[in-house]
A and B are shown apart, each in its own frame.
Chain A
Amino acid sequence: MNDNRREFIRKTGLGVLAGLGAATGIFSKSSFETAEAQTTHGASTSGKRWGMVIDTRKCREGCTKCIDACHEVHNVPDFGNAKDEIKWIWKSPYENVFPGESKQFVSEETREKSYLALCNHCDNPPCVRACPTRATFKRSWDGIVAMDYHRCIGCRFCMAACPYGSRSFNWRDPREAIEKRDQAYPTRERGVVEKCNFCSERLAQNLNPACVETCPEGALTFGDLNDPESEVRMLLEKNHTLQRKSELGTRPSVFYII
């Protein structure tokens, strides 16, 4: 082996080491970020942040009015089977909605009831970090986690990232299973992911979300979480509330009064 080659190998080795060093610097930074995300520290407090309080005491068992209204105005298909199911808002048993909450001696009423679930429009949304095309993003001006269907490539990383199962994939052409097409809102197509949009199209017209407006019991309250005078903040002030899987640090914008 001649000296030149030995020199070359030595320098390459040094280069690789330097590269590794730089990489640890980068990676340790990102693991620091996740550590920070696990606390509620860092929640955005300026600007608008739309949120919802669900009073489960008022929610009637067996009533699906909010679900029907939402799915109707947004042209959400109903294939009638779990495999192809598309859902923006739905009801689930206690242990599915609040798996982290205490399981011993929960009152029968609490256990037997089903609870409303929808996209939490997290302040720290894991789906947004997973999306490679930025098709899903958090709106800087009001905190809504939005979908840009025009960009969705159907990779479903967001579905894997969402801890709440709030996202559905269109395995089939949704148009086949829409009973009554609402002309005001576009449909989606096979190969895109979809979810609740907090009725951003209605908010643009100063209307409350369809589910909130429809509930005959007034169990749903919608408003700006960053406005201390808002109705949602009043409710949060007066009641003990839960966020789903708050231990994950996603900072959901949907709160539950149990």
Chain B
Amino acid sequence: MRRVMKIRERILIFCGLALFLFVVSYAFLQEGKAKKIPTPVAESASEQCVESREYMRANHMLLLDDWRHGAVREGERIHVTPDGRKFEKNLSTCFQCHGSRGFCVRCHTYASAKPNCFSCHHEM
């Protein structure tokens, strides 16, 4: 004799299935809605950064490392760009144009990067 499932049991199973499908597809439904990478604009928007924007986005940590090495260990405190602009090799230089540390922090929070520079370098 075939056992007939009770209606209540069926409803439970379908609800469970629906929930399961929703959870599994949730990540895909969110596609295209991800937070945009913060792209803060420099205060003095007319000027250029120390290097090209693309370079800075990808390599500003290398530039800072190079500056630090130059200033502390080689005694070379001035950075000259290919087009002849001069910058002092320290973190305050960045904030002459970028206003405040918030510029760095917003992006780092997004990227989950945690530079420790600002515990000692308290500029801005």
Contact (A186, B68) CB under 8 Å given A148-B73, A204-B77: no
Q: Could you tell me if A186 and B73 are in contact, using CB atoms closer than 8 angstroms?
A: no
In the assembled complex, the Cα of A232 lies from the Cα of B122 at a distance in Å of 36
Within 8 A of A (CB), among B90-124: 119-123
Within 8 A of B (CB), among A178-229: 181, 183, 186-189, 204
In the assembled complex, the Cα of A20 lies from the Cα of B122 at a distance in Å of 53
Q: Could you tell me if A186 and B72 are in contact, using CB atoms closer than 8 angstroms?
A: no
Q: Could you tell me if A188 and B75 are in contact, using CB atoms closer than 8 angstroms?
A: no
A151 CB to nearest B CB, Å: 9
Q: Could you tell me if B75 and A186 are in contact, using CB atoms closer than 8 angstroms?
A: no
Q: Tell me whether chain A's interface is mostly helix, strand or loop, or mixed.
A: loop
Please name all residues of chain B whose beta carbon is closer than 8 Å to the beta carbon of A181 when the two chains form the complex.
Answer: 122
Instruction: Please tell me which one of the listed residues B73, B75, B122 contacts residue A187 in the complex, with CB atoms under 8 A apart.
Output: B122
B37 CB to nearest A CB, Å: 28
Contact (A146, B77) CB under 8 Å given A181-B122, A186-B122, A188-B120: no
CB within 8 Å: A-B pair count: 25
Q: Could you tell me if B75 and A141 are in contact, using CB atoms closer than 8 angstroms?
A: yes
Please name all residues of chain A whose beta carbon is closer than 8 Å to the beta carbon of B120 when the two chains form the complex.
Answer: 149, 186-189
Closest-by-CB residue of B relative to A134 is B73
Q: Could you tell me if A142 and B122 are in contact, using CB atoms closer than 8 angstroms?
A: no
7 more contacts with CB within 8 A, not counting A146-B72, A189-B119, A189-B120, are A141-B75, A142-B75, A146-B73, A181-B122, A183-B123, A186-B122, A204-B77
Ordered nearest first, which 8 A-B pairs have the shortest CB separation?
A186-B120, A186-B121, A148-B72, A187-B120, A189-B119, A141-B75, A204-B77, A189-B120
